[in-house]
Structure 1
Amino acid sequence: MAQIYLVRHGQASFGSQNYDQLSELGQQQAQHLGQWLDRSGFSASRVVAGTMKRHQQTAQACMAELPAARQPASEWEIDAGFNEYDHHEVMVRHVPAFEDPTEVKRFLASSPNAKNEFQSMFQAAMARWMDGKHDAEYVESWPVFRQRCIDALERQINHAQPAKSIVVFTSGGTISTLCQYVLGIPDRNVAELNWSLVNSAVTKLMFQTGQPVEKPGRLSLSYLNNFSHLEALNTPNTITYR
């Protein structure tokens, strides 16, 4: 059996002009993950990252903690198939006023409960995106995004050069969607799963090499949302979800 480790990026810069970069804490989360992997004796046969800056920054900070002998011999792969869906578009199609970033900032500063209210609005926006009634309004509809993620996973499994331990640095929406693919959970549960994923947490998939990916039982979930590297610090504020 071979393994694919799906790593959610470290905390990004929510509320800033450029969300797609790690915060200082996000950088530390990725480093803690790398140190945890090092202590466990982990070796990576292949490293893959999405094209987003937060993916690649997490990969760099994490893998820098492993000795060269346990790094892959070949260069890291970059695969846009593991990119996150467009949060901004999903939200704006539901709340057009949020096209203006200053309106988002104004809303977040409007009350102590604004973040919770924003979360509820985003959940409704996700439901709209996924209900299939508005697909033509999105550059990337939910079915297209889902298939993109699955195709990216299959590329890794069917890679010309088999690897025993593949590490993929990606995003929560992508990981949740791939878990849906493996477990067969309903669409409505994908967003709920996404809310629970911790920054820099690891989800591990197992697969049998040398067989078509569609074969039943070939792909399975070993564990989900493992953030032991953060729990071991005994510092609650290092555990984040956005």
Structure 2
Amino acid sequence: MSCVYLLRHGQASFEADDYDALSGTGEQQAYRTGADLARRGITFNKVVCGGMQRHGQTLTQLQKGYGAALPAAPVNRDWNEIDHHNVLGVFDERLATAASMRQYLMTQPEPEKAFLNVFTQAVHRWQSGKYNDDYAESWCNFRRRVLKALEATFVELEKGEQALVVTSGGPIALVLSSLMQLPEQNWFSLNWTLVNTGITKILRTGGRFMVSSVNEHQHLDTPASRSMITYK
């Protein structure tokens, strides 16, 4: 049996022009993740990092908290998040960039509710498969590349070995919904429940994948750090 730890990145800078960068809270979350893994004596034979800036920054802070050397981490862009600006921008051009989206949301009486509403509609359009040519990456291609990344990660592991993968909520939710055979439309709502630096563990034995745990975040669920539990 081998095991892959899927780690969602730390909190990104949602309200900044560059979302693809950790916030101060995100850096602390990642550091605490590393410290908690070290405290529990968890080791990894392989480490893989998605190709986004927030993935690399999360791994850097995690290593600081871990306090010991980790295996060199090759970048695998198949673990990248969906291009949410593309998905949103195709649905409504006012949402194509961080600046234009922020400007649009400022006109809404309930910005957070308005964002969730338009994002949900945009994702449903993307997932429908009716407009694949409109997007930089179709839902089917996103699904295919993430499952390919999961397979590629396990191929590198011998029996009894463990890997750490730093990725995003979208790929983790895709793996979960696929392995648990959930309806595809549940992927988006599942994605919203994943905590920044939460860990989901996937096992493989005899060629079969199994979900061992979902969204572990005990490193944040303490009186001193509960305020750092975030979802963006």
TM interval, short-chain normalised: over 0.9
Distance 1:98 1:65 in 2: 36
Tell me, which stretches of 5 or more residues in structure 1 are unaligned?
A: none
Q: 2-side partners of 1:32 and 1:108: how far apart?
A: 33
Q: How far apart are 1:108 and its partner, in Å?
A: 2.6
Matches within 5 A, 1:106-125: 106-111=103-108, 113-125=110-122
Q: Determine if contact 2:47/2:74 at 8 Å carries over to the other structure.
A: yes
**Structure 2: where are the runs of 5+ without partners?**
none
How much does 1:181 deviate?
2.0
For residue 90 of structure 2, give the secondary structure of its aligned residue in structure 1: helix
Aligned to 1:230: 220
TM-score normalised over the length of structure 1: 0.90
- Residue 56 of structure 1 is matched in structure 2 by 56
In the aligned structure 1, how far is the partner of 2:35 from the partner of 2:75? Answer: 23
Superposition CA RMSD, Å? 1.7
Deviation at 1:64, TM superposition (A): 2.3
Aligned-partner Cα distance in 1 for 2:10–2:143: 22
Q: Which amino acid aligns with 2:222?
A: A
Q: Which of the residues 129, 135, 141 maps onto 2:138?
A: 141
1:88 corresponds, among 77, 85, 106, to 85
Which residue in 2 is equivalent to 1:126?
Answer: 123
Contact 2:196/2:231 (8 A) holds in 1: yes
Cα deviation for residue 166 of structure 1 reads: 0.3
How far apart, CA to CA, are the structure 2 residues paired with 1:128 and 1:191? 12
Find the residue that maps to 2:113 and give its secondary structure. Answer: helix
Q: Aligned with 1:156: secondary structure?
A: helix
Aligned residues: 232
Q: Please say if residues 45 and 163 of structure 1, whose CA atoms lie closer than 8 Å, have aligned partners that are also in contact.
A: no
Partners of 2:40 and 2:111 in 1: CA distance: 41
Structure 1 counterpart of 2:8: 8
CA contact (8 A) 2:30 2:59 kept: yes
TM-score (norm 2): 0.94
Q: Percent identity?
A: 35
Paired residue for 2:176, among 156, 176, 179?
179
Q: Secondary structure at the match of 2:66?
A: coil
